[in-house]
Amino acid sequence: MLVGLISDTHVGDRVKELPPIIPELFKDVDLILHAGDITSKAVLDRLEKIAPTKAVLGNMDSEEELKLNQSEIIEIEEFKVGLNHGTVYPKGDTQQLEYIAMELEVDILVTGHTHQPLIEKANEITLVNPGSPTTPVLADPTVMLMKIEDGKVDFELKKVAEPTCTSIKFANDKLKENEDDKVLFGG
């Protein structure tokens, strides 16, 4: 099964719409999981046109408007996949995310909140954050594909657009300039 992972879209409060490449990136998926901070029902409607979509509330979402749960558990083959926004402090603290996964009794926990992609093993639990396709923080705009097949799980990070963060753009430009001599920042 191929699953599209997305989070922190913030359509309506920070950006006008999803990047137009999203339907292309998710065209072959069987399911889409949105880890919250959707902020507009129109996002879920658009994703549902691509594939069946499950989503959870983020800290910026209206419970009244979206009528979603804080967590969901989806069984895919022999894996239990947890979906939760991951609102922990400090942001992205993997120990606290591991505790959420343990409470949900899942093998894989898909979260958001940090706007930064992550794939990390915490004991026997895989923690995954697809980043944000619209408002990344010190990262490229991204989504992720998760393929579960024959008892194996593979993740593929997909860049959605050029970086919106000027620091990352500057660093990438410098890398391109220094590609021949492989020197960056005096290294």
Residue 59 domain-assigned? yes
Neighbours of 172 (CB within 10 A): 14
User: Looking at residue 171, what is its pLDDT?
Assistant: 72
Beta carbons within 8 Å of 27's beta carbon, 6+ residues apart: 50
Sign of the Cα pseudo-torsion (68, 60, 137, 135, in order)? positive
Question: Which structural domain range is residue 39 located in?
Answer: 2-177
Distance CA 93, CA 167 (A): 23
Distance CA 161, CA 19 (A): 8
Residues of the chain scoring pLDDT < 70: 164-170, 179-187
Residue 74 domain-assigned? yes
User: Looking at residue 169, what is its pLDDT?
Assistant: 66
pLDDT in tens, 53-108: 999 999 999 999 999 999 999 999 999 999 999 999 999 999 999 999 999 999 99
Domain count, the chain: 1
